[in-house]
Chains A and B, each alone.
Chain A
Amino acid sequence: MQAKKVIGLIVAGVFIGVANGFFGGGGGMICVPALLLTGLSNKQAQATAILIMLPISIASAIVYYTNGFVDLDMLLYTAIGSVVGGVVGALLLKKLSNNILKYIFALVVMAAGIRMLI
């Protein structure tokens, strides 16, 4: 791998870590485009991004837990919903137009962002 790519990936890693630790998520949104820039295919970038997010999320979660920012009762129910939703979403993906979903997603996230600022 070229030195330029390695440096780029290290810089991306710094930002991904900050997003993950500071916001408790959203690192994947930085990770996938960064990996695409290094020449990985779409599927490879998404798969590798999930593996990257896993240990980072565990590390951040441990810090959140020790700071008392984890409610284990809530976790159980949300995790059940999330795992089921994740499987359904992955299956639905094949049937839906990806780009229209991207528009909807961008607008919903924008609305949520504005709502949080007001």
Chain B
Amino acid sequence: MVWWYLILAGLFGGLCGGMGMGGGTLLIPILTMFLGIDQHLAQGLNLLVFIPTGIIAVIIHMKNKLIDYKTFFIVVVPAIITAVCAALFVGRLKSEVLTICFGVFLLIISLFELYNAIKTTIQNKKKKQPRLKTTKLIHNINNKNYKSKIYKTKIF
């Protein structure tokens, strides 16, 4: 295995992760499809790779006080239990079967993301439509023939 292939794969996965789109969702298929790494190994690699990046991100977010600890505690307890059970179960699966499951998982995620992207596009378009709003503009206060006029202006 050429080491810089792995660095490149990591770079690409990290790039997506840093932009807030599941880094692992892309890193795992890159590792298996382009570098021919076994599905189990790629998944193990992704889990560990996330840890240093995640710690850095969490420290930054803690400083910015963006973390909701109550929510964290409620979600994390059931999640750890099911994660360990699922990870134990995966060890018994054949790599080919796991690859197919992962493919289905990716398809579901992509459809979900596509739906979200389309929804955002529609919302943005609605926002961009110019609204006509009546505004009172006062002209030439010093002018004796002062009149207040009502204009219709485009507000973007």
Residues in A lying within 8 Å of B, measured CB to CB? 1, 6, 9-10, 12-29, 31, 33-35, 38, 40, 43-44, 46-48, 50-61, 63-65, 67, 69-71, 74-75, 77-93, 96, 98-99, 101-103, 105-110, 112-117
Q: Smallest distance from the beta carbon of B6 to chain A beta carbons, Å?
A: 4
Cross-interface CB contact of B87 among A22, A96, A101, A106, cutoff 8 Å: A22
Q: Indicate which residue in A57, A87, A98, A105 contacts B47 across the interface (CB closer than 8 Å).
A: A57
| Chain B residues with CB under 8 A of A56 | 76, 79-80, 83
Known A10-B78, A89-B17, A116-B29: A21·B84 in contact at CB below 8 Å: yes
Residue of B nearest to A110 (CB): B110
Minimal beta-carbon separation of B33 from chain A (angstroms):
6
Query: Could you list 19 further interchain pairs (A-B, Cβ under 8 angstroms) beyond the known A23-B102, A53-B54, A116-B32?
Result: A20-B86, A21-B90, A25-B24, A25-B46, A26-B22, A26-B105, A50-B57, A54-B55, A60-B87, A69-B41, A74-B41, A82-B14, A83-B52, A89-B17, A99-B120, A101-B21, A109-B25, A112-B26, A117-B100
Which one of B21, B58, B85 has the highest number of Cβ atoms from chain A below 10 Å of its Cβ? B21
Verify A61–B105 contact, CB threshold 8 A: no
B109 engages A109 (CB within 8 Å): yes
Interface-side segment among B67-75, B130-138, B139-147, B148-156: B67-75
Chain B residues with a Cβ closer than 8 Å to the other chain, count:
96
**For the complex, what is the distance from the CA of A7 to the CA of B90, rounded to whole Å?**
27
Secondary structure class of chain B's binding surface, majority of residues: helix
Tell me the bound Cα distance from A46 to B22 in angstroms.
11
In the complex, which residues of chain A have a beta carbon less than 8 angstroms from the beta carbon of B48? 57, 61, 70, 75, 79
Least distance between A49 CB and chain B CB atoms (Å): 9
Contact partners of A85 in chain B: CB under 8 A: 10-18, 23
Q: Are A106 and B26 in contact (CB under 8 A)?
A: no
Q: Nearest 6 CB-CB pairs, A to B?
A: A89-B18, A81-B10, A85-B14, A24-B43, A25-B24, A21-B86
CB pair B67–A89 under 8 Å, yes or no, is: no
B129 proximal to A (CB < 8 A):
no
Are A40 and B11 neighbours in the complex by a CB distance under 8 Å? no
Task: Report yes or no: B79 in contact with A70, Cβ–Cβ below 8 A.
Answer: no
Assuming the contacts A63-B91, A65-B44, A69-B43, asked whether A25 and B50 have C-beta atoms less than 8 A apart, the reply is: yes
